[in-house]
Structure 1
């Protein structure tokens, strides 16, 4: 059962951290507040805060130890503020660039999506519409492509002495082929979300429909447009037929070269997140099975990389 506490009632280090965070928000000083934990968030502690006399509730994200290895908090805050200005994200109330503490409005009347929700054609359409708006927005100060991400995680893993799969040299070779093809053809850089976990997409209830919202911009950067689609379609387990239909919906047409770019990026997305898991497995004993997650992601990347069409996809890019 979720326990709601008042300021001064902290019983553990996480509760003391959120109490310190509440006291750091200038406009909240001197006001009575209560807080309760929220589920979710692998790399942070998430909290719901209520203030006496305030009709709004607030979401506090307290960055987790070690998360700075993966997240540029200043860039994430920039992306969140841009997205709010476009009407697709909650308002950021307070941000401290020193440690990444962020406070935003809590979106009432919404629930987080699940993988099952993404089987709904209406939700698929809403996601693509939201992405079109995001991708047409202002460029971010941070450009971090899928190639930057993969190479960063591999280097981090090597420095930590992490255990990569026995065929990692072959995976890296395939990765190098894909990178060379994309660099030769040119990157289509747009502001990207980069982290399409279902829970980051919020929808209203059937009784009270609301426009979809997107939360948690920790991995946002300027990146290759087709990567944004590739990682989304991979995360949602969409097959090639549905992938082609959704590309057509997003772009207005499905061209062979775009389909090839998206499919190759499905593999790159799995290499990226598998390597991220390899690194996290070495950092600390998280309450998440990074070992299993990484093994599965590398396995799924191989499925695309072993496909006999791999070379033809690279040529089409």
Structure 2
């Protein structure tokens, strides 16, 4: 742990400048340490003299204001707290768009292996369903909005386009047309299922953290992006649909598969934005071209036209 005056990096100087502005902490001895994980921001644990509670503080990464509405993220965090699926949050520095939440003890970040356990997987489905049943969020941002936003940003930044970008764009437009023709099922969505955003307890219960990308979005997109992030095969996708809805449905399965492709197009293009603006030590280019590759693998499936018809 470091104390005030010990900063050596820009991120540490930023966190020191922030924590001295928190009114309830003034006059207390403060210490902090970096917390690993996340590929958009720099994260810290804050300890305050005389308090047993630890705090989690997030310093926004460079350029993240291009695609993150932090007022909407704070509202989503508050809603998650209210319904019992997220940590306590504090509005100490909301005016600076700096998020502070409870540092949850007694839980660990998940790994991909955790979700091979049906009990943990079903608990995640329960948490998703609970979040989806909550009131609408103040921000509506569908996967279509996200993709169009990132396409525009890559174009303006002079970022990397894959050689088959035009084909990928046409495939996205076909999927969008099919989904919009069938009607969108918009609910409060998490939208960011990195393993580290699921905190697992000894009882296999789950808390969600990091609601920066939360918005009203297509229900099955939220399940599809989780499936893609965890590399679930189709038999697990079918089991998730049955667990979530109470029965398996072929059209819901098709819709989930289409959304898995859209999720990869969204995050591959997001990565090319980050590749141009981020100062974090992460290979966004490699991440993006891998996501492009997986989107292609889904769209090249001979069943893709049938999936589009079935949604």
TM-score by length of 2: 0.97
| CA offsets 1:216-238 (integer angstroms, 9 cap, x no match) | 00000000011011111111111
Distance 1:225 1:146 in 2: 11
Change (3 A) 1:97 1:252: same
Q: Would you say how many aligned residue pairs link Structure 1 and Structure 2?
A: 311
Confirm or deny: 8 A CA contact 1:77 1:95 kept in the other structure: no
Residue 229 of structure 2 corresponds to 235
SS across alignment from 2:163: coil
Pairing partner for 2:131 from 134, 140, 144 = 134
Residue 78 of structure 1 deviates from its aligned partner by 0.4
Q: Does 1:18 align with 2:15?
A: yes
Confirm or deny: 8 A CA contact 2:220 2:256 kept in the other structure: yes
| CA offsets 1:185-235 (integer angstroms, 9 cap, x no match) | 110000000000011000123xxx363100000000000011011111111
Distance 1:16 1:267 in 2: 40
Residue 293 of structure 2 corresponds to 299
Please list every run of 5 or more consecutive structure 2 residues that lacks an aligned counterpart in the other structure: none
| CA offsets 1:109-165 (integer angstroms, 9 cap, x no match) | 111001111111111011000001000001001000000001111110011111111
| CA offsets 1:42-84 (integer angstroms, 9 cap, x no match) | 2211111111111111111111221101211000000000000
TM-score by length of 1: 0.95
Residue 162 of structure 2 corresponds to 165
Confirm or deny: 8 A CA contact 2:62 2:279 kept in the other structure: no
Residue 312 of structure 1 deviates from its aligned partner by 1.1
Kindly report which structure 2 residues correspond to 1:141-290, keeping only aligned pairs within 5 A, or say none: 141-205=138-202, 209=203, 211-290=205-284
* Greater Cα offset, 285-294 or 295-304: 285-294
Distance 1:136 1:222 in 2: 11
Distance 1:111 1:162 in 2: 36
* Greater Cα offset, 212-221 or 279-288: 279-288
SS across alignment from 2:91: strand
Distance 1:138 1:286 in 2: 35
Runs of 4 or more consecutive aligned structure 1 residues displaced over 4 Å after TM superposition = none
| CA offsets 1:10-65 (integer angstroms, 9 cap, x no match) | 23322221111111212111111111111112221111111111111111111122
**Higher RCO by CA contacts (8 Å cutoff, separation 6 or greater):** 2
Distance 2:133 2:284 in 1: 34
SS across alignment from 1:76: helix
Residue 290 of structure 1 deviates from its aligned partner by 1.0
Distance 1:88 1:128 in 2: 12
Distance 2:218 2:136 in 1: 12
Distance 2:234 2:220 in 1: 14
| CA offsets 1:246-294 (integer angstroms, 9 cap, x no match) | 1000100111111110000000000000001111111245311111111
| CA offsets 1:277-317 (integer angstroms, 9 cap, x no match) | 11111124531111111111111101111111111111111
Confirm or deny: 8 A CA contact 1:25 1:94 kept in the other structure: no
Computed over aligned residues only, the root mean square deviation of the Cα atoms, in angstroms, reads 1.2
Residue 8 of structure 1 deviates from its aligned partner by 2.6
Q: Does 1:67 align with 2:61?
A: no
SS across alignment from 1:223: strand
Q: Does 1:50 align with 2:47?
A: yes
Residue 98 of structure 1 deviates from its aligned partner by 3.9
